């Protein structure tokens, strides 16, 4: 079924994807949840990267990993030339990384017989501020059926991007601060589960591509969220201890609460 996403008409009659894929088949690049939760009907999954972007958890989520009342955070890619105009505390780490300018992920080939169906599915899945774009994808292995492939050659892929002009992009610099993002991820919960689960799954999915590690932004957020959740566990234990003291002083404690006096 066709959908309308934040004013973006996603109807087959208005699509331009066939101009990029004249054979009717479809290539889709995933840099977030698509890495571990692939689209249906794919017959090839190929690891690789796109150039000229950075991956950031700078997109609010009011559905999958948050709610309209308490938006969570999910990942998008940002054109590197625009990202360089923004204040990013991790910019120095990004410039030191060996894969500068590369966003790693996985591309999926969808045969022509299911291309429209999968496009509909993705339009619905990515409805919260994302729109379809096209960019060269650089596979790390030979791609079956790729035109002129005498080795891993770039191929055009469709990719869903939450652009800075979409309503869910974090426009305020304070919201993009790593600790702020980590706090929101830790608290976020939506239709698809917890925000921290999304982050941890992305980290493991990127490691599973054979890189050995995720990118610096993801690994930094993982450390921050783990620290927040460890602190939260300590807070919960402290609260429980307080309740036990209160119950004990009120004479309501059970035998397990009663310790030998010292």
**126 classed as catalytic:** yes
Q: What is the mean pLDDT of residues 173-177?
A: 95
Query: How do residues 125-174 score in pLDDT, each as one tens digit?
Result: 888 899 999 999 999 887 775 543 445 689 999 999 999 999 999 999 99
Confidence of residue 2 (pLDDT cuts 50, 70, 90): very low
Between CA 109 and CA 41 the distance in angstroms is 9
Identify the pLDDT of residue 90. 85
The answer to the question of residue 11 being in a domain is no
Q: Contact 127/58 with Cβ under 8 angstroms?
A: no
* Confidence at 8, pLDDT banded by 50, 70, 90: very low
Smallest Cα–Cα separation from 188: which of 177, 199, 204? 199
Catalytic position from the list 117, 126, 238, 240:
126
Q: How far apart are CA 24 and CA 117, in angstroms?
A: 12
Quick one: what percent of the chain has pLDDT higher than 70? Answer: 82
> Does the pLDDT value for residue 260 go beyond 50?
no
Q: Is position 172 within any domain?
A: yes
- Residue 14's pLDDT band (boundaries 50, 70, 90)? low
Residue 243 belongs to some domain of the structure:
no
Does any domain span residue 21? yes
Does residue 256 fall inside a structural domain?
Answer: no
Q: How many CA atoms lie within 13 A of 212 on its CB side?
A: 2
Query: Is residue 140 within 8 Å of 48, Cβ to Cβ?
Result: yes
- 68: containing domain: 17-144+151-234
User: Under a CB-based contact definition with an 8 Å cutoff, are residues 187 and 195 in contact?
Assistant: yes
CA 244 and chain centroid, separation? 41
Residue 262 lies in a domain: no
Q: How many CA atoms lie within 13 A of 27 on its CB side?
A: 28
Q: Is 9 within a domain? A: no
Q: Give domain status of residue 246, yes or no.
A: no
CATH number of the domain residue 97 falls in: 3.10.490.10
Total number of domains in the chain: 1
């Amino acid at each position: 079924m066709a959908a309308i996403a934040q004013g973006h008409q996603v109807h087959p009659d208005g699509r331009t994807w066939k101009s990029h894929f004249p054979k009717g088949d479809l290539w889709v690049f995933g840099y977030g949840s698509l890495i571990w939760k692939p689209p249906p009907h794919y017959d090839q999954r190929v690891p690789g990267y796109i150039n000229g972007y950075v991956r950031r958890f700078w997109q609010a989520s009011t559905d999958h990993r948050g709610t309209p009342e308490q938006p969570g955070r999910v990942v998008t890619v940002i054109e590197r030339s625009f990202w360089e105009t923004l204040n990013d505390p991790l910019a120095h780490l990004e410039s030191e990384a060996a894969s500068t300018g590369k966003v790693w992920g996985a591309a999926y080939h969808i045969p022509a017989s299911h291309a429209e169906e999968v496009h509909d599915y993705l339009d619905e899945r990515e409805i919260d501020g994302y729109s379809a774009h096209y960019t060269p994808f650089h596979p790390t292995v030979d791609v079956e059926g790729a035109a002129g492939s005498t080795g891993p050659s770039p191929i055009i892929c469709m990719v869903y991007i939450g652009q800075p002009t979409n309503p869910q992009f974090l426009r305020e610099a304070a919201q993009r601060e790593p600790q702020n993002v980590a706090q929101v991820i830790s608290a976020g919960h939506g239709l698809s589960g917890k925000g921290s689960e999304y982050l941890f799954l992305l980290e493991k999915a990127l490691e599973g591509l054979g890189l050995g590690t995720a990118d610096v932004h993801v690994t930094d957020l993982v450390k921050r969220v783990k620290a927040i959740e460890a602190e939260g566990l300590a807070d919960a234990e402290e609260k429980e201890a307080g309740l036990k003291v209160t119950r004990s002083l009120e004479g309501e404690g059970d035998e397990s609460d009663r310790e030998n006096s010292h």
